[in-house]
């Protein structure tokens, strides 16, 4: 399983609108993507810094999303985010929720 980590900063007073766009537009789009498993989104105490982690079956699924539908997500969020989002893709080595552990990956 692979995780795609997105870090963004919201414009001031855009948190409520961000959560609405996330729930009503971004999540439905993600659910249509091949290999999408889960989305976990965190907000700082100030509701300005946001970290979103999407989980994917394979690295290929994450890369395909990045090269395609992610551009649509950026358009959805364009007026809500300040600056350029930071993105990284990493392998998931442990998850109690998804029952993944490092030893299972090495086999």
54 pLDDT exceeds 90?
yes
Region 86-99 average pLDDT: 83
Q: What is the pLDDT of residue 48?
A: 95
pLDDT in tens, 4-49: 999 999 999 999 999 999 999 999 999 999 999 999 999 999 999 9
Provide the whole-model pTM: 0.86
What is the CATH number assigned to the segment(s) 2-106? 3.30.70.100
Tell me the pLDDT of the chain averaged across its residues. 91
- The confidence band for 60, taking pLDDT boundaries of 50, 70 and 90, is very high
- Which pLDDT score is estimated for 96? 77
Tell me the C-alpha to C-alpha distance, in Å, between residue 96 and each of 6, 80, 100, 101, 102.
Answer: 21, 33, 7, 8, 11
pLDDT value at position 107?
45
* C-beta separation of 40 from 80 below 8 A: no
């Amino acid at each position: 399983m692979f995780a795609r980590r997105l870090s963004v900063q919201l414009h001031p007073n855009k948190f409520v609108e961000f959560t609405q766009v996330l729930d009503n537009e971004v999540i439905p789009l993600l659910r249509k993507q091949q290999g999408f498993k889960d989305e976990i989104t965190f907000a700082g105490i100030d509701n300005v810094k946001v970290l979103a982690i999407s989980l994917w079956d394979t690295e290929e699924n994450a890369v395909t999303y990045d090269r395609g539908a992610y551009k649509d997500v950026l358009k959805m969020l364009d007026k809500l985010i300040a600056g350029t989002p930071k993105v990284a893709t990493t392998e998931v080595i442990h998850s109690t929720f998804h029952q993944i552990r490092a030893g299972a990956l090495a086999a």
